[in-house]
Amino acid sequence: MKEITLHLNGEVRRIAVAPHETLLEVLRERLGITTPKSGCGRGDCGACTVLLEGKAVRSCLILAIETDGQRVTTLEGIGEDGPTALQQEFVKRNAFQCGFCASGIVLAASALLKENPQPNEGEIREALAGNLCRCTGYEPIVAAVRAVARRNAGKKRVAKRARS
């Protein structure tokens, strides 16, 4: 066992981990964070997606010991003041049904929007390609992300006019 420090959803957490434990196992079984789901165990489905230093990663493929000192964000850590605009759009557009994939998809989309606030449809689909949803299909999911991208474009135009 080796003690590691995680910056988990804005809080410093110290925990002893075995060399073989995945980040997903530590989050779910040891720290009680249940939004990342254990789906395929091979990184194919995206249900275990978390943000590691702001990048969307599959927590089932990363050893916990490798994350020592890094920022890990789960769905619980992205909406400090309530649901984010993205989460609100997901609800508004019925972009998830059973909820199994929702956390991973929202985090993957959040990482995309942070890196590229105004992605086009192709960029959205590419960013979400590693996240499987068997309930909704992808149209409402893409529509939710596009709505936030349009909102971001509107904010940019308003800010630009205010500076002029």
| Cβ-contact 42, 59 below 8 angstroms | no
| Cβ-contact 54, 114 below 8 angstroms | yes
pLDDT at residue number 160: 58
Residue 82 neighbours by CB under 8 Å, 6+ apart: none
Residue range 2-76, CATH number: 3.10.20.30
* Second-level CATH architecture of 85-163: Orthogonal Bundle (1.10)
Please give the single-letter amino acid code of residue 62.
I
Instruction: Cite the DSSP H helix spans in 49-138.
Output: 85-92, 102-115, 121-128
Phi-psi region of 32 (alpha: psi -120 to 50; beta: other; left: phi over 0): left
Q: What is the pLDDT along the chain (164 residues), one digit of tens a residue?
A: 999 999 999 999 999 999 999 999 999 999 999 999 999 999 999 999 999 999 999 999 999 999 999 999 999 999 878 899 999 999 999 998 888 999 999 999 999 999 999 999 999 999 999 999 988 789 999 999 999 999 998 876 665 555 65
Domain boundaries defined on the chain: 2-76, 85-163
| Cβ-contact 50, 107 below 8 angstroms | yes
Q: How far is CA 91 from the centre of its chain?
A: 16
Tell how strand 49-52 and strand 55-58 pair up. Answer: antiparallel
